[in-house]
Amino acid sequence: MKLYTLPKGTYTETAGKKILKYLNAKLCYCQNIYEIFEKAKDDYGIVPIENSIEGSVNLTQDLLLEYDYKIVGETVLDIHHNLIGHSKEKIKIIYSHPQALAQCRKYIKKHGWEVKAVESTAKAVELASKNEEAGAIGSEGLAKLHGLKILERNIEDYKNNKTRFIVIGKKEIDGNFNKYKTSIVFELKEDKPGALYHILKEFALREINLTRIESRPSKRMLGTYIFYIDYEGLNLEVLESLKRYVSFLRVLGSYPILV
């Protein structure tokens, strides 16, 4: 089996390495999240889904609906960003992945640098390595890979910066795990007072703890949404009770938390 991930030195690669012990798989590298969804097919992929500062990775959220994968696991990483480059004084432009740039927004603003978003933190550091007036935001490993200096550490705007990654695939991960979660996506049948309340009520009645609720545009019409809910455990019986309130409902996966 293979585990598709983002380029060497990215945070997603680190998350991939962390969970390899649960899979009999070899890491394979892709340039972006799209490519991971395209290639993982009968193998596995690992992609970022949410961050404690910037929130959802919308592309991942949307691709989960477009492709036919299951979420088969999740893992969380502490994320510490570094300013990487040649010399801080010379920097005029800063490169990184949009999520990393957003997590360091105040830091960048304070310095007044021009900002350029690129496909991954790996691409950002590669570009900075070719330009004395450029800096990049990324991991310590990336600085080493490209022979650049760490000019400043821990430049994220808030402490406790964490990103949650999901493992996508078609085959469940074998083993005994302590904690599980379930992720679903649905659209409400009717736009009326209490529509979402009826959904939430079914979880409350069963004392099921929700860990996340997120809405995304339906993309058909302004003001219409689809909802993503994550909850603790493996209860699928609750979903029967939701059916009368939704026009579609899909289980994205019931999966272990990989530590």
What are the residues binding ligand PRE (CB under 6 A)?
A: 6, 10-12, 48, 51, 57, 79, 97, 99-100, 120-121, 163
Least Å distance between CB 11 and ligand PRE? 4
Cβ–Cβ < 8 Å for 136, 125: yes
Cβ–Cβ < 8 Å for 189, 172: no
Cβ–Cβ < 8 Å for 34, 59: yes
**What pairs with residue 2 in β-bridges?**
26
Nearer to ligand PRE, 82 or 120 (CB): 120
- Number of Cβ atoms within 10 Å of the Cβ of 160: 9
Nearer to ligand PRE, 43 or 50 (CB): 50
Closest CA to 11 of 46, 61, 41: 46
Nearer to ligand PRE, 48 or 169 (CB): 48
Least Å distance between CB 101 and ligand PRE? 9
| Token pair belonging to 121 | 């933190």
Least Å distance between CB 232 and ligand PRE? 23
Nearer to ligand PRE, 90 or 106 (CB): 106
E strand intervals along 31-148:
44-51, 55-56, 70-78, 82-85, 93-96, 114-117, 134-138
Least Å distance between CB 214 and ligand PRE? 15
In sequence order, what DSSP letters do the residues of 108-148 get, joined into one string?
Answer: HHHHT-EEEE-S-HHHHHHHHHT-TTEEEEE-HHHHHHTT-
Q: Of all helices (H) and strands (E), which one includes residue 150?
A: strand 149-152
Least Å distance between CB 99 and ligand PRE? 3
Nearer to ligand PRE, 10 or 183 (CB): 10
Nearer to ligand PRE, 48 or 85 (CB): 48
The amino acid that residue 21 corresponds to is K
Query: Minimal CB distance to ligand PRE: which residue?
Result: 10
| Token pair belonging to 258 | 């990989």
Least Å distance between CB 126 and ligand PRE? 12
